[in-house]
């Protein structure tokens, strides 16, 4: 009985350790996270739409909910400015604390409302966005 509790405790500690490391990687903006590896495994080919360009800006919208983030746009072009609208509707979870580590952006979103930011992606690869706890994440793929 005592050895069983030891094994269970060890497994729980390993899981907590991996979760902490993953959260740190997410908040650093790393592409080497469990979520990104999972997305590669399931090969999510839907929602690969390129952002439309309107008046010289790539226009993108992220819907914020209590359970994370949702967008129909997954592809951005490097070197073209982005107008990102972050829309929250009756949100009370940590997803309100929105972070894009690679552009040093962070904001606490209103419970209901729209926050608009403008930036220009300069590097190709994944542009990660997350809540400040690293629990809810999403990304855009930046291409040439």
16 within some domain: no
Of 64, 69, 67, residue with least CA distance to 112: 64
Q: Which domain holds residue 103?
A: 22-143
- The tally of domains found in the chain comes to 1
Q: Which of the four pLDDT bands, split at 50, 70 and 90, describes residue 42? A: low
Confidence (pTM): 0.74
104 within some domain: yes
Interval 45-74: pLDDT, tens = 455 678 889 999 999 999 999 988 998 888
2 within some domain: no
| CATH code for the domain in which residue 99 is found | 2.60.40.420
Q: What is the mean pLDDT of residues 13-21?
A: 91
The residue behind tokens 């500690």 is 13
DSSP 83-129: EEEEEESS--SGGGEEEEGGGTEEEE--SSEEEEEEE---S-EEEEE
110 within some domain: yes
Structure tokens at 36: 């990104």
Buried b (16+ CB within 10 A) or exposed e, 14-34: eeeeeeeebbebbbebeeebe
């Amino acid at each position: 009985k005592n050895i069983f509790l030891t094994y269970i405790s060890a497994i729980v500690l390993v899981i907590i350790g991996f979760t902490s490391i993953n959260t740190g990687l997410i908040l650093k903006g790393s592409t080497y996270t469990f979520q990104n590896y999972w997305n590669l495994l399931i090969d999510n080919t839907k929602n690969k739409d390129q952002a439309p360009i309107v008046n010289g800006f790539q226009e993108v919208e992220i819907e914020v909910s209590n359970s994370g983030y949702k967008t129909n746009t997954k592809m951005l072009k490097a070197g073209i400015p982005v107008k990102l609208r972050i829309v929250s509707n009756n949100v009370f979870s940590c997803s309100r604390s929105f972070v894009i580590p690679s552009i040093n952006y962070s904001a606490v979103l209103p419970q209901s409302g729209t926050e608009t930011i403008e930036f220009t992606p300069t590097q190709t690869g994944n542009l990660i966005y997350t809540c400040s706890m690293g629990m809810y994440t999403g990304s855009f793929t930046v291409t040439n």
